[in-house]
Structure 1
Amino acid sequence: MKNNLTPSGELVLENLVINHHNLSADFPNREQRLQYRAVVQWLTDYKPKSDATNLEKVRGYLQAFHHLCTVEDWERASKILFIRLNTPTNEELHAQLNTWGYYREQIDLYNRIVGKISPTLDTIFFMV
C-alpha cells in the first residue's frame, strides 16, 4: 500500500543529500554507515498497513529522525521534523503530531534536538 500522507522516501533522501548508493564513501565509519543505512531503509522500505494509525503512517520518518540523532547529524534530523505532510493543512511533521494529539511523541522529538541547532529553532519548537 502506498502511504499518501508522506512524501516519497527517495525525495526526502535527495533533500537530505544522502546517496544510498554511496554510503561507504560518504560515511567511512562503520557505525555511522549502519545508522545511515537504517535511515535509508526506514524512509524507502517501511510500508504501514492500510488501516494504520496516523502515527504508524509516519513511523518511518520518526525512526529516520532517531537514527540521525544517534550519529548527531542534527541538521538532517531537523529537516525530517520540517517535512510537510500531505494533509489538508499541509503541516510540518512536528506540528502535525500535535494536531493529531501525539503530544508525548512530539515532546520526545523536541527533547532530542533542543539546543543542538540554534536558539531560533528551539523557539519554534516551544511555540508549537
Structure 2
Amino acid sequence: MDDLDQNLVSELRHNARASLSDLAITLGVTRTTVRQRIDRLQQRGDIVGFTVVLKEAQRDPVRALMMIGIEGRGIDRIVRQLGGIPAVRIIHTTNGRWDLIVELGTDTLEELDRILIHIRRFEGVATSETNLLLNTRKQT
C-alpha cells in the first residue's frame, strides 16, 4: 500500500459510509481514483469487508483483559476452550511474560469472576493476571 492507499483506509476507518466524492475531496484526488483504489484494495484482500458497529453492542458493562501464562504445549487446546466461552471477545497470542491476552465482556462483576475462575481451572493455565478496562479513549 502506498501513502494514498493508507490515507484512504484511514478515512474509511473513520467513516466507512463517506461518499466517493467526499473521500476524493479529502484526499485531493478524483472520484474515479478513489473508486479504483477501493476496488483494488478489495481485490487484493487488503479490505475484506465493511461493518456496522451498533452502540449497544459496542460495549459490555464489565470489560477486562486477562493475561494468561501457559505451561507445556497446551496453547491450541486452551485457545479452543476459550473460543467456546461466550464472554470471550478476542484472543491474542503474544510474546513476553504472557502467552495469551484475552478480552472479556460480561454484564456483571460476579459473572466475570465466575468466568475467571473457570478459565484458571483449565489444564495448562499456570498463571494469570486480570485488569478491568475502565474507559476506552480511542477505538477504530
Normalization by structure 2: what TM-score? 0.28
**Greater helix content:** 1
Rg comparison, structure with higher value: 2
Normalization by structure 1: what TM-score? 0.30
